[in-house]
Structure formats: C-alpha cells, structure tokens
Structure 1
Amino acid sequence: MHRLPPLRLLSVFETVQLAGSAKAAAGELNVSMSAISQALKQLEDHVGVALIDRGTRPASLTEAGRILLMAVTENRERLTGALDDIHALDDPMGTTITLACTIGFATYWLMPRLEAFYLDHPDLAIHVQTTSREVPRLGPGTDIALRYGGGHWDDGDVTLLFRERVEPVCAPAYLSRIEAAAGSLAASFLIHVATDDRRWISWADYLARTDQRAAGSAKGLRFSNYVQATQSALSGHGVMLGWRSITGDQVSKGLLVPTGLPPLQPENAYHAVLSHRSRKTETAEVVVNWFRAAAEADMYAPSPSAPSRT
C-alpha cells in the first residue's frame, strides 16, 4: 500500500494547475517561487515519477500528472460536498446554494454576474465549486451544475442557459496585423488551447469549417486552459477563438475585438442542471431562473461592430 503524499504538497500541485502557472500560484499562496518549485519536486520524489513536463513552454502535465490532478480534484470535490451537506443541516431555510462549474466559466461568466444576483436576492448565497472537469459533477451537496454539452443528462433537471458563439478575437492593438494581411490570419500568432474534449472547437476545426488559411498557426502559442489563453489575448500576444461564455464580456467592454472573420455556432450549449438530490429545490430554481434571464438579457445587448476593412 502506497503512503499518501502530504496534503500540503497536493494542495500546491492543484493550485499551480488551477492558477495556470507557478508564479500565479505563488501569489495566491503568498509564498516564494522557490517554495512552489521545492514543493512540486518533493511531490514528484514522493510519487516516484515526473508530474510536470518542463521541456514544454508553458510547462504541461505528464500523463502521470493528469492522473494525479484528476484524483486530487475529485477527492476535493467529494470533501467539499460532504462539508456542504454538513452545513446544510444548519441551513433549514435553504438560503445557500452550492454550484459547480469549470474554472473558465466561473471566471469569465459567472463571477461578473454575481453582484447583480445578490442585489436582486440579498437573502441568498451561492457557494461556487470550480473544477477542471469539462462536465462538472453533481456530487453530494451540489445543488446546481453549469455544463456545456447537448443537455442530455439524467442526474438533474436541465435548463438551457444560452447557445455558444465562437469567433476569432484579439486585443484592439493586435488587430493591425489582421488588417495588414487583408483580413486573413496569415501574419498572426494563433493562441491554442490543449483539450481532450472533442466538443470544443480547435483552430484546426475552425479553419476547416470556414475555409480560412493561417500560416501563423504552426508558431502559435499553446496553453492548457482558456483562462491562460484569454489572458494572453488580452495582453496582445495573438488571436484566440473567443467563446461567448469566456470572452463575451471582454468583447462587450472593448478589451477584445472581433477580427471580422466568420463566427461559428456549435451544436452544444450551456445548461444549468438542478440536482435530483438537492434538498433546496425551490431556492435552486430561483438561482437557475435568474441565470437564464441574465443570459437572455446578454443576447439582446448591442453587439460590437466588426472592424472596418477600409
């Protein structure tokens, strides 16, 4: 029987992956970069294999690292769910709702809307569980999961929130590269996101479906999640495939702009799934209905104009 690594090392390992880099994790944990590096090395020594491929830029997880991260994430979610169930014993009115979603969705769609939710419902509270899973689980203690997919799940009542929209976007200052190339991607760096989820549209998918060409794709930037990719685009490092759920608010604020290239609408969409096991169905329905109304309001907001080619 293998001895488990210290929980401190596992926590550092997960924080690095969620934060997107060792530097960001050091800031979150308020420790030095050397402390982060030392903790990761101690964890690898304990496990006996490399967990991080340091030969890639940015560094990525090895297969062993992905297996361990999944185990750490699943067990944290189970523990969080158990604690939520315990706290629910002291919440007979059901005023706290636990919601699970991906890190990118929480960062770029959910969090910017929570302030408005609390203004409308000051008596309610939402506890957000973020997960690296593309389809967040409805584990014990979780009332709602916000998921991207076809909507065919049997573990809860499914409500459509909004359809996705995918189009190339970049920082306003970077747009000159596209304009100089007569509206093509030939001179651009493409920002890629590595994912095993086939529902997500990659640059290869987009280029094939829109009959576009991009000589810059081979020298593009590659990241392990959409949070990192979005930050890279905001910093003016290249063009990313902007998903409404992730870059929609940045586009509406003018921080990112559409390049004028054709948009795509995936078959899948974002849904709210209210758990069949929830003990707070009535309150959870209030939350779901508010999110659905907020998403509908976004649909009718004025869309930014495509860049001029003149």
Structure 2
Amino acid sequence: MELALLQTFSDVARRGSFAAVARDEGVDPSSVSRRVAALEQALGLTLFERTTRRLALTEAGRIYLDRIGPILEELADAVDTARDAVTEPSGLLRVTTSVAFGERWLTPRLASFRAQFPRVQIELILSDAQIDIAAEGIDVALRLGPGVEGTFIVSKLFDVRYRAVAAPSYLGRMGQPAHPADLKLHDAILFALPRFGPAWRFRTKSDSTMIEVHPRPTLAISNALAIRRAALEGLGIALLADWTIADDLEKGKLIDLFPNYEGSATDFDAAVWTAYSSRHYIPARLRGFLDYIRSSAE
C-alpha cells in the first residue's frame, strides 16, 4: 500500500473535501479524487459517501481512518525526529492568529525569526474566525482567549492590558479627561462585536474596586486595526490592547489617558495563548517558533 494514498485519504477526511486538499497541495481536485479512488479499489472498500453537497466517511472509512491515523502520525514523527537529528530546523510551519494580532505583533517579529531559522517556511493564516486547528492542519495557533476545542496543549503567552487612548489632535479639541468617570463626556470608538458591551471598566493595580463608565458612543467598528486608525485620526477615545498600540504610545501618536488604571470592555483577565497539537514528538521548527515568541513576549 502506497503511503501517499493513505496520507491523501487522511487529509481528505480531515479537510472534508477533495478541493481543499487540492488547494493545499497546489494540484487539480481530480488528481486527489483519483488517489482516493485508487485506495478504495486496492482495499475493496468505499471510504467516502459522495454527493453533490457533501463528502462524508462511510462506516468502513471511519474505522479504517481510526486505525491508520496513529500510524501516519508516528511516521510523521519519525521523519521529524530523524531530520532534526541531522539538520537544522526546517520544513513548513502553519501558524494562525487574528488579523490584528498578526499584523501588529507577530508579523514584525518574523524577520528576526527567519534570521535564526532560515530553513523554516512559515504559512501565516490570519482570520478573525475560529479556525478548526485540526481540520486546517495548523501547527500552532495564537489565540486571544484560551478556548480551543480538541486535544491541544494550551499555554499563556502573555497577559494583555487594555488602555484608554486618544490622539493629541482629539485631546487638543476636546480636552483630556482627568479620571475614567469623565469619559461619559467624551466621544468613544467602540468595538462592534457581540462580546463587547457599551460599558468600559477600570481598576487600579492597588485597588480592586471597579469603575464602570458608559462613554458617549460616536463610532462603532468591528476591527481593532480600524479602531486604532480612527483613534489616530482623532475621531475619539478608544480602549485598545497594549500590543495594538505599543509603538503609537512610544512615538506620542496616541496618549495613555489613565496610566495608573487597567481597562476592559469584557473582563480583566485578557491574555494571548498558544495552542498546538499534543503530538508525541514536537518538531524542532515548532519548538524553535514557540521558544522564539515566548522570548519575544518577555
């Protein structure tokens, strides 16, 4: 039995379509379909139920996948183990995170990572949707919340602090609030997302007493990058994660209005998390990436 046929069968089952696997490999979907058909003919089994709307494993296909899945994983681990023993880290690393975090925090650090690991190829998938890590063949996900379905190793990368910020142009026009309670008199740029309410909460490090404020909503945007841009343009006060605006604060493009307070539009335990598959062997390219981003976060 050709290993390539077994891997194609596993990939199609994981991705749920011939077309998706074909896109991953850069080939025509018909070639993927032919490989699966060749495996079915060799086994004398129908592995998939095919209709115009869906592709699903048959009972025989599910049983067969359950048996060969661990074998394929062991073989992949064996290749990585052997390669890592004799060469520097190499191969494809598929990474996913949100659009804003990828653009503002991760991408600026990739040049340094590539300098350390020139043989590692990175495929960065930026999406604000909750991508199915296993189905998409993701090696590591950087998430802004710990909730990840499936058997994955999840660990905190760093805590996130939210800051109320405004551009000097806005403050010159509207004045600077002296206390979070003053925000009710100021224009606010809100997150237009279901989990973000209209209230902003603040607390000091020394006092756990929470202050809840309803700023005056003048603009609502569903993307953190666009909110940052609106704040830079002086359209109002925004509550943004520190990783989004760190260089803006350093350059004076945005002003931290309440440096002694931490803010939140949801809860105060925000953090960035890493999630990756609990394989028996973690390839050197993934270990190197995890070590690198952890050191970058310190």
When normalised by structure 2's length, the TM-score is 0.60
What does 1:47-66 correspond to in 2, within 5 Å?
none
Length, aligned pairs only: 214
Which SS does the other structure have where 1:149 is aligned?
A: coil
> Is 1:206 paired with 2:204?
no
> Is 1:223 paired with 2:221?
yes
Paired residues of 1:97 and 1:283 also in contact (CA < 8 A)? yes
* Partner residue in 1 for 2:115: 119
* Partner residue in 2 for 1:150: 146
Higher CA-based Rg: 2
Post-superposition Cα deviations, 1:74-128, rounded to whole Å, max 9, x if no partner, equal x9xx9677644679x9x98642211011111111111122122222222222211
Partner amino acid for 1:288?
L
Partner amino acid for 1:284?
L
Post-superposition Cα deviations, 1:229-288, rounded to whole Å, max 9, x if no partner, equal 111111111111011232233223332220126213722311111224699632112111
What does 1:99-118 correspond to in 2, within 5 Å?
99-118=95-114
CA distance in 2 between counterparts of 1:247 and 1:180 reads 19
Partner amino acid for 2:141?
A
Paired residues of 1:100 and 1:137 also in contact (CA < 8 A)? no
What does 1:160-171 correspond to in 2, within 5 Å?
160-171=156-167
Which SS does the other structure have where 2:216 is aligned?
A: helix
How far has the Cα of 1:145 moved from its partner? Answer: 0.7
How far has the Cα of 1:193 moved from its partner? Answer: 1.0
RMSD: 3.6
How far has the Cα of 1:187 moved from its partner? Answer: 3.9
* Partner residue in 1 for 2:12: none
* Partner residue in 2 for 1:137: 132
* Structure having the larger proportion of residues in strand: 2
Partner amino acid for 2:95?
L
Partner amino acid for 1:252?
E
When normalised by structure 1's length, the TM-score is 0.58
Partner amino acid for 1:231?
R
Moved more, 180-189 or 168-177: 180-189
> Is 1:260 paired with 2:243?
no
**Identity in percent:** 25
Structure 1 stretches lacking a partner, 5+ long: 1-74, 297-310
Partner amino acid for 2:117?
H
Paired residues of 2:177 and 2:183 also in contact (CA < 8 A)? yes
CA distance in 2 between counterparts of 1:278 and 1:245 reads 33
CA distance in 2 between counterparts of 1:103 and 1:80 reads 22
CA distance in 1 between counterparts of 2:105 and 2:253 reads 15
CA distance in 2 between counterparts of 1:80 and 1:279 reads 26
CA distance in 1 between counterparts of 2:125 and 2:280 reads 15
CA distance in 2 between counterparts of 1:80 and 1:174 reads 47
Partner amino acid for 1:245?
W
Structure 2 stretches lacking a partner, 5+ long: 1-14, 28-75, 84-89, 204-208
Paired residues of 1:191 and 1:221 also in contact (CA < 8 A)? yes
CA distance in 2 between counterparts of 1:275 and 1:260 reads 40
* Partner residue in 2 for 1:242: 240
Paired residues of 1:143 and 1:278 also in contact (CA < 8 A)? no
2:271 aligned to 269, 272, 281, which one? Answer: 269
Partner amino acid for 1:141?
G
Paired residues of 2:164 and 2:263 also in contact (CA < 8 A)? no
Distance 1:177 1:205, change over 3 A: same
* Partner residue in 2 for 1:294: 296
Paired residues of 1:189 and 1:238 also in contact (CA < 8 A)? yes
Partner amino acid for 1:229?
I
* Partner residue in 2 for 1:173: 169
